[in-house]
Structure 1
Amino acid sequence: MDTADALTADALTADLTFRDATAADIDALVALIESAYRGDSSRAGWTTEADLLEGQRTDPEGVREVIETPGGTLLTVEREGRIVACCQLERRDGHAYFGMFAVRPGLQGAGLGKAVLAEAERRARTDWGVTEMHMTVITAREDLIAWYERRGYRRTGRTSPFPYGDERFGIPRRADLAFELLVKELS
């Protein structure tokens, strides 16, 4: 990153507030997550899954479960009092799990996602003392996997099946969906 990019990234993240989500945030978080991954609104950003999945990405019960899970948080990111991003961060068996990551579509591609990921990694390392971050990504999302690889995550080749038939996770538009585990050593 050159000096101009660093200044832009600093300006972008200077006015962000990071906090743990509460039950009062559930509706806004569901709307954010849905807008980042499903339907036409998701096409304004680059993280859309609209060509892979229809239906919902999450629901209020799923978000509530993440908020209430012991040993975890739904990190909420605000700018000027408005939720602009979020991510799940959970302590699991000696590592941290990163998931439910969403950035408002119109703000994608400007460094906000990098800032959120960096804060999640910092919290996992300093608050929990873990040395590894795990996440799962749909294998067909090569562009997203490449984004994580540029941030130090490595593909493991370990896959798990997509939950076909469980519409809480969406309605697949193709029959070859699976998740791959990505891992990063936190130093």
Structure 2
Amino acid sequence: MTCVHDLPNEAAVEFRLATRADVAAIEKLVTSAYRGEASRAGWTTEADLLDGQRIDPEGVKEVIDKPGSLVLLAGRGVLVLACCHIEKQGEACYFGMFAVDPTQQGVGLGKLVMAEAERVARDDFGCARMEMTVISLRDELIAWYERRGYSRTGKYKPFPYGDERFGIPKRGDLKFELLVKPL
């Protein structure tokens, strides 16, 4: 699967499915979008909430290899600019591992990736809705998703405190909220 989309005032962006050869690039991209000083170049940083890694190579390999799961990449040539994970879970698809290079945030790439992910969930996986979890304290990010048709459910999942594969929390009140969008 490869398709090309144009961004306003930008070169075309190409979508493709990730393979194991992309694991290092995905790990680097996701980390740069959410953790450390590099993430502060964009607006999706979690650096004030968490230290440490956002994802590890084994986690990336797991979602690439899992049946009913894929990692969608957006880029130009060999340059990976954005990614997301889509996994069929019954009538819904789970949307996660969404990352846009911090230097590319704000130009419409995230909207484009999300639209392609929703198309894949609906057309390729036959899902009726998309679901995701977001750290409940991320008001600006949740508002961005709400502008794209996602709704807060008031349902929460605990943050995996003590499991450093997901980062090192800087505060004790982290939890995930479930957001849903009908497709």
Q: Do Structure 1 and Structure 2 share a fold, with TM-score over 0.5? A: yes
What's the % identity of the aligned pairs?
A: 62
Q: Does 1:103 align with 2:130?
A: no
Q: Give the alignment of 1:6-155 within 5 angstroms.
A: 9-12=7-10, 15-155=12-152
Instruction: Provide the secondary structure at the position in 2 that maps to 1:168.
Output: helix
The answer as to whether partners of 2:7 and 2:13 remain within 8 angstroms in 1 is: no
Q: Please provide the CA RMSD for this pair.
A: 1.1
Instruction: Provide the secondary structure at the position in 1 that maps to 2:85.
Output: strand
Is the deviation greater in 45-54 or in 120-129? 120-129
- Report what 2:3 is aligned to: none
Structure 1 residue 35 displacement after superposition:
0.3
Gaps of 5+ in 2: 1-5
Choose between structure 1 and 2: higher helix proportion: 1
The answer as to whether partners of 2:33 and 2:100 remain within 8 angstroms in 1 is: yes
Letter in 2 for 1:85: A
Instruction: Provide the secondary structure at the position in 2 that maps to 1:116.
Output: helix
Separation in structure 2 between the aligned mates of residue 81 and residue 64 of structure 1, nearest angstrom: 19
The answer as to whether partners of 1:15 and 1:80 remain within 8 angstroms in 2 is: no
Separation in structure 1 between the aligned mates of residue 14 and residue 67 of structure 2, nearest angstrom: 23
The answer as to whether partners of 1:72 and 1:91 remain within 8 angstroms in 2 is: yes
- Report what 1:4 is aligned to: none
Instruction: Provide the secondary structure at the position in 2 that maps to 1:130.
Output: coil
The CA deviation string for residues 102-135 of structure 1, in whole angstroms up to 9 with x for no partner, is 0000000110000000000011111122110000
Letter in 1 for 2:158: P
The answer as to whether partners of 2:34 and 2:54 remain within 8 angstroms in 1 is: yes
Structure 1 residue 9 displacement after superposition:
3.8
Aligned length: 178
Q: Which consecutive segments of 4 or more residues in structure 1 shift more than 4 A?
A: none
The answer as to whether partners of 2:23 and 2:61 remain within 8 angstroms in 1 is: yes
Structure 1 residue 11 displacement after superposition:
4.4
Structure 1 residue 10 displacement after superposition:
4.1
Separation in structure 2 between the aligned mates of residue 17 and residue 91 of structure 1, nearest angstrom: 23
